[in-house]
A and B are shown apart, each in its own frame.
Chain A
Amino acid sequence: MTPTIRIQSAPFDPAHEAALIEEGRRDIGAIVSFTGLCRDEDGALSALELEHYPGMAEAEIARVAEEALARWPLCGLTVIHRHGRILPGEKIVLVVTAARHRGEAFAAAEFLMDYLKTRAPFWKKEHRADGDVGDWVEAKAKDDAAAERWSK
């Protein structure tokens, strides 16, 4: 199957994306949909600015998707990642996996998110509610550890 991969500034609708995978199929037993949202950090954050590397972002997510397809027999896979200015409460990233059984759909979705965090070329900059342009978000060691466990 060919995964659907989109890098876009526009919002997306997770329910619509899952429905597109399901449509006309009778072999799918499980769909897992993960949505990552922008938090307001208890009111301190007014927006996130997501910078990305056009071309590589698509290519790298495609490589991660191929790896997921090689590991689990998926019936459907969609990854959408937004860039640009994103407000608290808005959606940033979507992973939808479909499989015959839930174990594969859950595992593939988690694998994809763990790998996207450490390998997809996106960077978040914070805009603070007090008007300051804050710092670049720092990469977290726990995200590296989360991705690392799949290589064991």
Chain B
Amino acid sequence: MKALYFAWVRERIGRAEEELSPPPEVATVGELIAWLKSRDEAYALAFENAAVIRTAVDKAHVRHETPIAGAREIAFFPPMTGG
């Protein structure tokens, strides 16, 4: 699946997107965050406070408990500040 990062999540990770192949036991968006967090310091910093991270699957908002099975694109970003 494709991962997209925006705003300070993107800056902390150091890239805007990448292809992810999580192990099969990673079943939800929240578990994917925990898995990313364990990768290295940059991800650990980006997802330091996982509770504030907003997520979208295939361009629609989802909660952290949402399953990732079948997802083509998962995005991670801070609370939005448009308008």
Contacts and interface: CB of A to CB of B under 8 A. Distances in A.
Interface in A82-133: 92-93, 113, 116-125
Contact of A136 (B8, B56, B60): B8
B81 A53 contact: no
B48 to A, nearest CB: 15
B4 A53 contact: yes
Interface string B20-40: 000000000000000000000
Contacts, number: 73
Contacts of B8: 136
Q: How large is the interface on B (under 10, 10 to 19, 20 to 34, 35 or more residues)?
A: 10 to 19
Interface residues of A, number: 29
A52 interface: yes
B57 to A, nearest CB: 10
B77 A53 contact: yes
Interface of B: 4, 6-8, 56, 59-61, 75, 77-83
10 contacts: A51-B6, A56-B60, A60-B59, A93-B83, A117-B81, A121-B6, A122-B82, A123-B80, A125-B7, A139-B80
Given A52-B82, A55-B59, A117-B82, 15 more contacts: A56-B59, A59-B59, A92-B83, A116-B82, A117-B81, A117-B83, A118-B80, A119-B80, A120-B82, A121-B6, A122-B80, A122-B81, A122-B83, A124-B82, A139-B79
Interface of A: 36, 50-53, 55-56, 59-60, 63, 81, 92-93, 113, 116-125, 136-139, 143
